């Protein structure tokens, strides 16, 4: 398990080392059928074998072309004809996404005029191609999530007795696990926002696959044997675009795109703005029109990017539009690719084709770009039509819908985070509102009246969210009790005395203060007056924190929203962020025991967020600056909803949330844009390594292979050199078994895929074990593998499903463990 996780983590590195495209991916299921033939035929280095063993019934006719054109591949010299509905049955060994390709290449034959064939194609009963006929070679590709043991391919002749179907060749193979993600594609539509859910139950038909700025890529040069065609024919205004070609192979990174996502050739070429063109002016879009054949139909549009134009980081900002709707604003590839240039990534969108049956893709400069770096790029496009309706009542999608997550914080900052948040809030609020209105139709009005000054802010989606957020909160909750008059905040902070500033963030300044009435120390976070930018986060924080009280979560003392001010008042944490105790200056060194206790405290806080109530809460910005220590060095998790603005207390770089969270971002979240509680688990794993090694998650000053703590530590762990990177101040202090458990847990938190990561409850349990072993002399130092069988629990996502596992039950299990061990 461990080794696999590690291997997966390192896979891209290994792939880079091998640098052999075709060696990279071996599908579990792999059927290549040479239809109507009894011998093998080879195409693009692949052997297609005789098809007869896979026929569903013996009601078909093999055909051979007596005079095949010399240039035509041998594979297309035979075909199989079906005069009644019939076809093939293939055993499927691996559930999940499969690629299904059918090759149709009609040829003359005495009994059947293949050009006149007309038939419907069904995949496991779903009709994906209706009344199809062709007079020239056509290859149809379907991306199909199979979750049974069989794939049935049926060709059903169209009505009118004499009809028949035919096929020359079939490919069916399992796709890499992440090729299609179930949730996370951004919906681009005037009527809807949020993420698309249930992609893996859709059958997708590939309509276009484009190598933008490059030449044709044949199946020979693609690990999934795809064909990528050049984009020029689709450019709306050719002079607007300028080709760019990189001479370096793409810098594939964990969490980004892989060679299976798209081949090197796609990421090494792009179109960029042809800024030399005087007629076009300084700012313009590059647009492509892709005919898709049907109007108003949902498509998955996957856009591939790789910054091969910039000379430095964070210089390129551009917008993406689909059918003239804003799809992605201010895209910053540097931030999205963990601060690397030339690093491939992709974004999935779901959009409808327009009335003319087109999909128009545009990229253009963002307002954030400086005048010398105005540019926009695109490396690749895939457009896939959704050919079936969602499978209704499918178990997996229902399971997912049952849990609605409140999403707090905003690592990616801006647009997407807010969209996501808004979408979920709307969903959540609708539910609660229904219930509440039945019970007490007046409660809603009363509550929202307290917010009149906050409503009616720019943008309809925001103001709608404002209202819904509030109505979505539990009735009878004491928001009002938490209001603090502005005068009191002024007095608490000596009228925002500069000398009391203890931190700053995009949201504004953080002051230390004392509430005179209660005589309690507080931290006061003040939004830039008059700026309404952080409004949704501000409200989220209040909504969330007013509902939560936990020993390991920083509590909200109150808030103030008078005179266009947005102020949040928190309990003051005497010892500041964990980070400054690990590698800050002038702080006493934390002992191993203290470090374990801090980790346990933080883990408890996060565990409570995840499981303490329904819906669970994903923090989204777990890092050592967001774990604060009180006067007793007890850890509390902070910053729920202002991560973009957060109290980056001692942080020097404050501009965006992404920067603040580098090195902590779950690669799967980044890749799938699908948020789960396991993203927090990943970030927590990074914090654990920080605690152990006493260095930042990202240290750009170090040698390249050491910059990213998670990667570096796992590599050293693997090569058995872990003791060399442990904080020297801990030397000789840590008991072997305690260290082992700690590292093993951190490693599991950092698993490439969320499902392989432990739940926060499991993490907590393991940390307590590590502390117990450290503390207790009675436990064996070197327990053999079968000596502690109870511990082999981590590593399965299932536990989070039954999320009722509260701290109490965790503690129970733990005490059982202790008794077992003590025997």
Binding residues for ATP: 525
Contact indicator for 330, 368 with CB cutoff of 8 Å: yes
Which of residues 324 and 631 has its CB atom nearest to ligand NAG in the complex?
324
C-alpha to C-alpha distance for 799 and 793, rounded to whole angstroms: 10
Site string for ligand NAG, 420-439 (x = CB under 6 A): --------------------
296 lines the binding site for ligand NAG (CB under 6 A): no
Query: What's the angle, vertex CA 359, arms to CA 355 and CA 361, rounded to 5?
Result: 135
| Closer by beta carbon to ligand NAG, 320 or else 350 | 320
**Torsion angle of alpha carbons 516, 522, 527, 532, nearest 10°?**
-80
Using CB under 6 A as the criterion, what x/- string covers residues 794-823 for binding ligand NAG?
------------------------------
Q: Which is nearer to ligand NAG, 244 or 428 (CB)?
A: 244
What are the structure tokens assigned to 164, written together?
A: 């028949």
Site membership for ligand NAG, residue 495 (CB under 6 A): no
Query: Which is closer to ligand NAG, CB of 39 or CB of 778?
Result: 39
Q: Are 534 and 645 within 8 A, CB to CB?
A: yes
Which residue's CB is nearer to ligand NAG, number 15 or number 760?
A: 15
Binding residues: 525
Which residue's structure tokens are 């499969």?
Answer: 98
CB of 168 to ligand NAG, least distance (A): 17
**Entry field: residues in the chain:** 823
Nearest distance in Å: CB 340, ligand NAG: 23
Neighbouring C-alpha atoms within 13 Å toward the C-beta of 195: 23
Between 82 and 101, how does the x/- string for binding to ligand NAG read (CB under 6 A)?
Answer: -------------x------
Min dist CB 751 to ligand NAG, Å, is 20
Question: How far apart, in whole angstroms, are the C-alpha atoms of residue 434 and residue 438?
Answer: 6
- Catalytic site residue 621? yes
Q: Of the candidates 759, 729, 728, 730, which has an alpha carbon nearest to the alpha carbon of residue 745?
A: 759
Residue 277 CB partners (closer than 8 Å, separation 6+): 239, 240
Q: Is residue 343 within 8 Å of 250, Cβ to Cβ?
A: yes
- Of the residues 131, 150, 324, 398, which one makes contact with ligand NAG according to CB under 6 A: 324
Residue 666 DSSP class: -
Task: Give the Cα separation of 107 and 78 in Å (integer).
Answer: 9
> Measured from the CB of residue 659, what is the shortest distance to ligand NAG in angstroms?
27
Is residue 218 involved in binding ligand NAG (CB under 6 A)? yes
Q: What is the number of H-type helices and E-type strands within the chain?
A: 20, 36
Taking the least distance from each CB to ligand NAG, the nearer of 111 and 784 is: 111
User: Rounded to whole angstroms, how far apart are CA atoms 768 and 187?
Assistant: 43
The 161-200 site mask, x for binding ligand NAG (CB under 6 A), equals ----------------------------------------
Rounded to a whole number of angstroms, the distance between the first and last alpha carbons of the chain is 29
Establish if 285 lies at the interface with ligand NAG (CB under 6 A).
yes
Question: b or e along 564-576 (b: 16 or more beta carbons within 10 Å of the residue's beta carbon)?
Answer: ebbbbbbbbbebb
Which of 362, 410, 540, 611 is close enough to bind ligand NAG by CB under 6 A?
A: 362
811 CB contacts (<8 Å, ≥6 apart)?
Answer: none
Q: What is the CA radius of gyration of the chain?
A: 29
Contacts of 572 (CB under 8 A, 6+ apart): 512, 513, 520, 521, 522, 523
List the x/- string, 255-284, binding to ligand NAG by CB under 6 A.
----------------------------xx
Nearer to ligand NAG, 162 or 460 (CB): 162
Strand extents, DSSP E, 613-652: 617-618, 627-629, 635-637
* Closest CB to ligand NAG among residues 38, 587: 38
Q: How far is the CB of 489 from ligand NAG (least distance, A)?
A: 41
Report residue 439 as tokens.
Answer: 């019970």
Identify any residues that bridge with 521 across adjacent strands, giving them in sequence order. Answer: 514
**Considering beta carbons, is residue 43 or 257 the nearer one to ligand NAG?**
43
Burial 142-158 (b: 16+ CB within 10 A, else e): bbbbbeeeebebbbbbe
Helix (H) or strand (E) holding 511: strand 508-515
Instruction: Give the one residue of 61, 83, 221, 580 binding ligand NAG; rule: CB under 6 A.
Output: 221
Residues 103-162 that bind ligand NAG (CB under 6 A): 113, 115-116, 147-148
User: Residue 302 CB, nearest distance to ligand NAG (Å)?
Assistant: 20
The strand pair at 138-146 and 203-211 is best described as: antiparallel
Choice between 20 and 437, CB closer to ligand NAG:
20
CB of 92 to ligand NAG, least distance (A): 8
| Least CB distance to ligand NAG at residue 148 (A) | 5
The pair of structure tokens assigned to 475 is 């009735």
* Active-site annotation holder among 332, 621, 666, 727: 621
The residue within the footprint of ligand NAG, chosen from 145, 344, 364, 423 (CB under 6 A), is 364
Binding mask 534-573 for ligand NAG (x = CB under 6 A): ----------------------------------------
User: Can you say whether residue 633 is alpha, beta or left, with left for phi > 0 and alpha for psi between -120 and 50 degrees?
Assistant: left
Only one of the segments 11-19, 217-225, 524-532, 723-731 lies at the binding site for ligand NAG (rule: CB under 6 A); that segment is 217-225
> Segment 595-624, which members bind ligand NAG (CB under 6 A)?
none
Q: Whole-number minimum distance, CB 264 to ligand NAG, in Å?
A: 9
> Shortest gap between Cβ of 445 and ligand NAG (angstroms)?
38
Distance between CA atoms of 611 and 607, rounded to whole angstroms?
6
Q: How many residues bind ligand NAG (CB under 6 A)?
A: 20
Annotate 32-94 with three-state secondary structure: EEECCCCCCEEECCEEEEECHHHECCCCEEEEECCCCCCCCCHHHHEEEEECCCEEEEEECCC
Closest distance to ligand NAG from the beta carbon of 38 (Å): 8
In this chain, which of 107, 321, 346, 664 binds ligand NAG, going by CB under 6 A?
321
Question: By CB under 6 A, is residue 486 in contact with ligand NAG?
Answer: no
Judged by CB under 6 A, the chain residues 15 through 54 that form the site for ligand NAG are: 39-40, 47, 49
Instruction: Please say which residue, 315 or 468, places its beta carbon nearer to ligand NAG.
Output: 315
Segment lying near ligand NAG (by CB under 6 A), choices 137-145, 218-226, 469-477, 583-591? 218-226
φ/ψ of residue 87, rounded to 5: 170, -135
Catalytic residues: 621
Contact residues toward ligand NAG (CB under 6 A) are 39-40, 47, 49, 95, 113, 115-116, 147-148, 218, 220-221, 283-285, 321, 324, 362, 364
């Amino acid at each position: 398990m461990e080794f696999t996780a590690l291997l997966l983590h390192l896979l891209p590195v290994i792939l880079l080392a091998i640098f052999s495209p075709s060696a990279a991916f071996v599908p579990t299921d792999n059927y290549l059928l040479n239809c109507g033939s009894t011998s093998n035929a080879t195409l693009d280095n692949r052997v297609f074998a005789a098809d007869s063993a896979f026929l569903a019934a013996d009601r078909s006719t093999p055909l051979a072309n007596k005079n095949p054109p010399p240039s035509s591949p041998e594979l297309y010299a035979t075909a199989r004809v079906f005069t009644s509905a019939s076809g093939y049955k293939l055993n499927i060994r691996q559930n999940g996404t499969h690629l299904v390709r059918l090759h149709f290449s009609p040829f003359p034959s005495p009994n059947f005029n293949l050009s006149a064939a007309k038939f419907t194609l069904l995949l496991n009963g779903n009709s994906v191609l209706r009344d199809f006929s062709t007079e020239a070679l056509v290859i149809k590709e379907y991306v199909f999530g199979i979750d049974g043991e069989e794939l049935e391919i049926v060709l059903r002749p169209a009505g009118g007795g004499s009809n028949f179907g035919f096929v020359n060749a079939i490919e069916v193979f399992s796709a890499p696990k992440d090729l299609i993600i179930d949730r996370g594609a951004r919906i681009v539509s005037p009527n809807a926002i949020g993420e698309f859910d249930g992609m893996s139950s859709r059958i997708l038909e590939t309509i276009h696959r484009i190598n933008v700025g490059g030449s044709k890529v044949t199946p020979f040069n693609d690990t999934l044997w795809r064909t990528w065609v050049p984009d020029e024919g689709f450019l709306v205004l050719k002079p607007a675009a300028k080709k760019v070609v990189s001479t370096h192979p793409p810098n594939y990174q964990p969490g980004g795109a892989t060679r299976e996502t798209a081949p090197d050739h796609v990421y090494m070429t792009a179109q960029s703005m042809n800024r030399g063109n005087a007629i076009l002016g300084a700012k313009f879009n590059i647009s492509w029109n892709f005919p898709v054949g049907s109007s108003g139909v949902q498509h998955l549009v996957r856009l591939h990017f790789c910054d091969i134009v910039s000379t430095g980081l964070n210089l390129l900002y551009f917008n993406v539009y689909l059918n003239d709707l804003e799809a992605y604003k201010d895209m910053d590839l540097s931030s999205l690719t963990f601060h690397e240039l030339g690093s491939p990534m992709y974004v999935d969108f779901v959009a409808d084709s327009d009335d003319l049956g087109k999909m128009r893709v545009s990229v253009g400069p963002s307002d954030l770009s400086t005048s010398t770096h105005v540019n926009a790029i695109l490396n690749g496009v895939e457009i896939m039509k959704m050919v079936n309706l969602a499978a209704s009542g499918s178990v997996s999608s229902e399971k997912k819908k049952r849990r609605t997550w409140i999403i707090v914080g905003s690592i990616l900052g801006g647009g997407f985070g807010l969209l996501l948040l808004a979408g979920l809030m709307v969903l959540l609020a609708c539910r609660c509102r229904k219930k509440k209105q039945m019970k007490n139709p007046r409660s809603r009005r009363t509550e929202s009246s307290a917010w009149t000054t906050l409503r009616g802010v720019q943008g309809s989606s925001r103001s709608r969210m404002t209202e819904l957020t509030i109505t979505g909160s539990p009735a009878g909750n004491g928001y009002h009790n938490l209001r603090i008059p502005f005068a009191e905040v002024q007095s608490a902070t000596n009228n925002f005395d500069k000398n009391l500033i203890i931190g700053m963030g995009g949201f504004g300044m953080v002051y230390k203060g004392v509430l005179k009435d209660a005589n309690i120390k507080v931290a006061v976070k003040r939004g830039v007056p008059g700026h309404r930018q952080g409004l949704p986060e501000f409200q989220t924080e209040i909504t969330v924190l007013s509902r939560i009280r936990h020993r390991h979560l920083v509590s909200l003392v109150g808030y103030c929203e008078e005179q266009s001010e947005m102020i949040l008042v928190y309990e003051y944490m005497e010892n500041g962020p964990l980070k400054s105790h690990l590698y800050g200056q002038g702080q006493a060194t934390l002992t191993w025991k203290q470090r374990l206790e801090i980790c346990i405290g933080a883990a408890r806080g996060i565990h409570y967020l995840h499981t303490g109530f329904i819906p669970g809460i994903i923090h989204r910005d777990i890092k050592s600056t967001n774990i604060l220590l009180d006067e007793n060095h007890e850890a509390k998790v902070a910053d729920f909803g202002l991560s973009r603005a957060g109290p980056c207390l001692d942080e020097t770089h404050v501009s965006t949330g992404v920067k603040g969270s580098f090195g902590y971002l779950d690669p799967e979240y980044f890749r799938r844009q699908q948020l789960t509680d396991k993203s927090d688990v990943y970030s927590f794993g990074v914090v654990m390594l920080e605690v152990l090694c006493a260095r930042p998650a990202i240290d750009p000053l170090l040698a390249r292979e050491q910059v990213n703590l998670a990667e570096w530590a796992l590599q050293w762990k693997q090569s058995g050199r872990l003791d060399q990177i442990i904080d020297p101040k801990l030397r000789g202090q840590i008991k072997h078994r305690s260290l082992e458990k700690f590292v093993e847990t951190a490693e599991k938190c950092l698993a490439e895929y969320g499902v392989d990561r432990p739940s926060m409850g499991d993490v907590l349990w393991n940390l307590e074990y590590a502390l117990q072993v450290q503390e207790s002399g009675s436990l064996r130092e070197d327990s053999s593998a079968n000596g502690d069988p109870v511990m082999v629990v981590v590593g399965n996502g299932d536990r989070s499903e039954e999320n009722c596992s509260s701290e109490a039950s965790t503690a129970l299990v733990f005490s059982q463990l202790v008794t077992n061990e003590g025997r």
